[in-house]
Structures are given as C-alpha cells and as structure tokens.
Structure 1
Amino acid sequence: MRPRVVYVHGNGNKVRPELLKSQWDTALFGRDMAEASRMAYWAPVRYPEPLPDFRTDAPAGRPELVEELVEEMPARPDRAGAEPPEEFVARTLDEARREAGGTGLEARAGTDESALADWLRDMTYLADTLALSGEQDEPGAELPLEALPLPRTGRTALFRLLVKHAFKDVHAYFFGGAGPAMREVVKEQLDGLDGGPLVVVGHSLGTIIAYEVLMEQAREVELLVTVGSPLAIAEVQDHLARPPAVPAGVAAWRNASDLRDLVALDHTLRPEYAPEERVTDLLVTNDSSNHHGISEYLAQHEVRAPVQRIFDGAG
C-alpha cells in the first residue's frame, strides 16, 4: 500500500486548503502529491474566511503585511516606535482572554494560563531582541545576514505579529474551547487511510494538535515530523492532556527548529518525550523573515530526506 502524508498547519489564517496543501507539497517534495497528501485544515475554527490566494500570512514567514503591521502598532516615545514589551504582553493576554470568553473557565481541569503567559513574555522579549539585532549603529554599517530589510519599527511589528498569533491561537486551543474542533479536523484526515506507511507533518501549533491526536489514538505512524514546534517548552507541556511521551504508535520522530524561531524557544524534545531513542532533534537554518516559515522548514534536507525515503522506498 502506498505511503500517505497528513499535514497539520500552524498559527494564523491561511489560504484556501487545496492551495495550502499544494504549497506544502512543493516545499517538501518539489511537486504536487495529489491524493498522496492531505491537509488538516483547521483555520476555519478560528478564522471565518481564508486569506486571498495572493496573500501570505506573516506568521508563515514573509513580510507582505508589514505596512499594515506598522500601522497597527501604537505610536510610543521609545526608540522602537512601539509599546513597551510588558504593555504588549498585557494587551495580548487581555485580548486572548476576551476571545476565550473571559477567564479561561473552559480550560482543561487543573490548569491555568499563568505558565502560558510566561511563554508569551519570553517570546516578546526575544522578538524585540531580534528586531534590535538588525539595527545599524552607524551609517553605512552592514546589517547581519538574518536582519530584515526593514526599519526597526517594521521588524518589531512583524516579530510581534508572530508572537500575537502564536499565543492567541495556542490560548484558544487550550482555554478558548477551540481544541476539540481543531483535533477533530486532524482525526478526519487520518480516518479512512488504507493502512500504508503514514507520515504526519506538523508546524507550530499544528505540532501540538497532531501530537495530542496521536497520543489519543495510538495510530501507527512511520514518521512524525514537527517543525517550529513549542512542544519542548515547559509552559506548553504543563497544558498537555497527557504527560509528555512519544505517542505509542510513532516509530520515529524528527523535530526541527531554528535557534531564532520565537515559537520554538526550547529546541530539544529529548529526554522529556521518552523513549528518547525514537526522537531526533535537529537545528536547521530557516532564513524566512521571522525564522518560522513553513516552506523554509520543509525545504531543509534534514526534514525532506527521511520523508522522501519512505515514499521512494514504496515505489
């Protein structure tokens, strides 16, 4: 039986599902995979309409929306032209609470949002540090290779948009009642597969959703691939339904991240997710504008090669 791959996308709104699937196919395989791939498209749980085809969401790693982002940032007297980090953290947390219906009463029993708020704070400070790292101290000074070709205000706005989307969607997953519907989308895409070798690929929040579904189902998966994942972060692990472990049916797990990725922050799943011999943590270079872009992750040799071996071996 032929291999199949199921994708689970990450934070933020997306283009229509068939286009998104084709983009992931192209990045990972270099071609459209037709019926061999499926996209677990949970965006409608959070967003009423998909993005237009010509727009790319900034959390995916491209700065098409920078002008709008800069306009969103309130004018402040500090050098960045943006509100101080603690004010941004407080405002983002308040917005997430309002979207969740208030106080997080729909959260899983025994958990609260304080740990997740620590993750939000850490992401925000790292975002501002990355924005500052691209600032020219002297006229004519060369920018670091990873710096965005934007004024610092634009870089700050772009990085903080990633922070906001990542946190608010994760908050909605754990506290806003969105988790069951997101997981159901993944289950629907896994249902009806013919029993051939299965690869599951998740990005960002999609790694949490995919992981929890696989923990629940114990489905046989030849390879689980997570990129830009927050699963290694203690504050996220505190909110998982089950203690961290490799899902029972997963034969191998490859986890890739860029050291500059705000969402990942912690880059090592081993040994929290036992048995650790099934897990391979990889540090890769993601040169998208926010170092979190999905196409750049999927194009990495360390990510593509094991997936392609499964498909080539079945040919």
Structure 2
Amino acid sequence: MSGSVTPQLVFVHGIGGLRDTEQQRREWLEALADGARGAGHSDVISGLTRGWLAETRFANYSDLFTDAEAQGGSAGVSDDPEGIAFLEDFVAALVDELGHQAREQGDRRASAIVEDARAQLPGVDDEQEQGLGEPVRVLGRALTSLLQIPGLRGSAQWASGLPLLGHLSQVGRYLSRRRAADGGLALDARIRQRVLQGTDPERPLIVVAHSLGTVVAFEALRGYEGQVPLLMTLGSPLATAAAVLHRLVPQPPRTPARVERWLNFWDRDDVVVGRPRIEKWMLPNADGVLPVTERVDSDGLWVHTATKYLRQSDVAGPLVEALKR
C-alpha cells in the first residue's frame, strides 16, 4: 500500500462448527504464507506471519450459530418450513450444477450418480411420498449420493450427506433475516457486525472470504465507506442462483461501491461451489468493477477449506501483491 499506512486484512470464514479465533487466524496466515512462497513472494513471509505487512483479523461468528443448532432438529438442521425450503432449493441447485459439469466432461459415471441423487429429491417421484415427511433424511441421502462422485469422494471433508446438510443450513439461517427472539438484531446483522468490528475506514481494507463468508462479506461491504482495494472470495455459493442470489441484499445484486477489485476462485471438486457465473448475475459498481473468476485445482482431501485455497499460488499471489502496494 502507498505511504506508511498499514493495511487491514480480514479473514471471513464459512460454514462449519465452532472455531478458535486465534488458531484460525494463524492457520489462514500460514496457508497464505505457503501460497505466497509458491508465488515467488518469499520476501513477505515474515511480514505476513508477524503482522508487519498487514494488521490481520479473523472475523469469527461461529458461536452465533450455536444456539440455533442446539434448538434444531436432525443433524442440527432447523425443522421450520422456511429453512427446509431453502435446503431443498440449495440441494437441487447443487444437483443441477454437478449434472451440468458431468455432461460438460462427458463423465457418464458422474452423470449416473447425479441422476440417482436427483431421483431422491423431495417431490421428484410420487413414490417418495413417505420420504417427504422426513425432508432432512431425504436431502441428506441425496447429498450422500452426490458425495460418491469420483472427484468429490476423495476431496470432501464430509463422510455423508447429513453433516454437510447441517452445515449448509447455516447459509439458510443467515439468509432468513429472522430477528432474535428477544427483539434484538437478526442473526445476519449480528454476523455482519462481527466482520466489520474494529475496522478503520481511514485505512485500506482487504477482505478474504470463504464459503458462507463470501455472502456475509458481500453484504457487509454494501455500506462500508472506507477503501477496499481487494475483495477475494473463495469457494463461494454466491452463484447458486436458485437458492442464494435472489435472497441477497441489495436486489439486484451489485459489486459493493468501495470495492476496487474482486477476485473469485473456485475448485471443480468443491461440492459447495457452482460454476463461475457471478459476473453474469452481478451489476458493476459505479467504477465498473465486476468479479473476475478463476479456477484452481487442489489435490488431496478437504477441498472445501479456506486454507486449501490460500495455499494456491494463483490465489496467494494477487493477495500479497495487493498488500504490498
């Protein structure tokens, strides 16, 4: 960054369980340092890990889901009709997405698995009326089938569909905009507060968001008045039109006003991510900024993690370069 102003770097996590703020901050920074080394930026490793290059904060809102999960039904999924309807839309969108990818690649085995999952979705087959009374079980079974797709089977951190469904339900709870029982702020508003808490509009802010965190960051930056040289989204469900896009605020969705550059990364073996269509469904801000999407290919297990993305040189390179300006 120009001058002597130290930029702010905020990490925004996604779906999952309770997190340790400092441990996560350290793990994300270490992953970014690995990626920076691969991108030829070994000179900034100490600056990253020791806080010289940027003041880094991990925006942890995972505890805000704890009470809701404790009150939920099977697999921590709320059994309210709105939440179930969201999950039905989301899982159907994932089935459609993976089916499209299988057809593009001519993968007959994956196509067969997708069609098996599609046949299990509520309302698809009249013979499944009994299953409609147990939507969580039915949707979990469909996701379990999807996780058998060869690329996903070796890379997903979920052994079956029910735990994944429980985590995906967090996206629906965020987007429900439901006010707290005590009349306080809605869950989504409290989460956005966590993201921007402690930020200084007088200093440049770079945001790296993952999974559900990309939805949170997108909305949190809507009214932010400080400079945002880079918004980086990883493994984002923002392009899941049927389930997520039309629930965003504002409508129609547009790039936050102060964002100067938006880079979006996706991995084909990341079950939560749709095809890179965000730029087709997002209006530009006044400066004409739209998201630019690039694909990365991770090896091994646990593809849907922020650290897996951050270890990619194609991801870490432009992030470090933004911090060094």
Q: TM-score, length-normalised on structure 2? A: 0.66
C-alpha displacement of 1:130: 5.2
C-alpha displacement of 1:132: 2.8
- The one of 186, 200, 203 aligned to 1:196: 203
**Separation (CA, whole Å) in 1 of partners of 2:306 and 2:300:** 9
* 8 Å contact from structure 2 (residues 232, 264) kept in 1: yes
C-alpha displacement of 1:204: 0.4
Q: How does 1:23-38 map to 2 (within 5 A)?
A: 23-30=27-34, 31-34=48-51, 36-38=55-57
Name the SS of the counterpart of 1:289 in structure 2: coil
Which position in structure 1 is the counterpart of 2:60?
41
Which position in structure 2 is the counterpart of 1:231?
238
User: Relative to total residues, which structure has the larger helix share, 1 or 2?
Assistant: 2
- The one of 294, 302, 306 aligned to 1:294: 306
Shift of the 265–288 alpha-carbon distance from structure 1 to 2, 3 Å rule, reads farther
Name the SS of the counterpart of 1:248 in structure 2: coil
Q: Does 1:96 align with 2:77?
A: yes
Name the SS of the counterpart of 2:314 in structure 1: helix
Unaligned residue ranges in structure 1 (runs of 5+): 49-89, 105-111, 135-143, 150-154
Which position in structure 2 is the counterpart of 1:16?
20
* 8 Å contact from structure 2 (residues 147, 161) kept in 1: no
**Separation (CA, whole Å) in 1 of partners of 2:220 and 2:235:** 18
**Separation (CA, whole Å) in 2 of partners of 1:147 and 1:173:** 28
* 8 Å contact from structure 1 (residues 261, 291) kept in 2: yes
Which position in structure 2 is the counterpart of 1:132?
148
- Deviations along 1:34-63, one digit per CA (max 9) or x if unpaired, are 371011110110137xxxxxxxxxxxxxxx
Unaligned residue ranges in structure 2 (runs of 5+): 35-47, 68-72, 96-116, 118-141, 179-185
**Separation (CA, whole Å) in 2 of partners of 1:163 and 1:265:** 16
Q: Does 1:212 align with 2:219?
A: yes
Count how many residue pairs are aligned between Structure 1 and Structure 2. Answer: 243
Instruction: Report the RMSD for the aligned CA atoms in angstroms.
Output: 2.9
- Deviations along 1:191-229, one digit per CA (max 9) or x if unpaired, are xx2633321010001111111010133542000000010
* 8 Å contact from structure 2 (residues 86, 172) kept in 1: no
* 8 Å contact from structure 1 (residues 298, 304) kept in 2: yes
Which position in structure 2 is the counterpart of 1:119?
90
- Deviations along 1:110-156, one digit per CA (max 9) or x if unpaired, are xx86455221234474854554344xxxxxxxxx7x7539xxxxx79
Shift of the 277–242 alpha-carbon distance from structure 1 to 2, 3 Å rule, reads closer
Q: Report percent identity of matched pairs.
A: 26
* 8 Å contact from structure 1 (residues 227, 256) kept in 2: yes
**Separation (CA, whole Å) in 2 of partners of 1:273 and 1:27:** 30
Shift of the 156–42 alpha-carbon distance from structure 1 to 2, 3 Å rule, reads closer
Which amino acid in structure 2 is aligned with residue 13 of structure 1? G
C-alpha displacement of 1:291: 2.3
- The one of 263, 283, 294 aligned to 1:282: 294
Which position in structure 1 is the counterpart of 2:164?
163
**Separation (CA, whole Å) in 2 of partners of 1:272 and 1:130:** 26
Name the SS of the counterpart of 2:292 in structure 1: strand
Which amino acid in structure 1 is aligned with residue 148 of structure 2? L
C-alpha displacement of 1:246: 0.6
Q: How does 1:53-72 map to 2 (within 5 A)?
A: none
Which amino acid in structure 2 is aligned with residue 117 of structure 1? E
C-alpha displacement of 1:300: 1.2
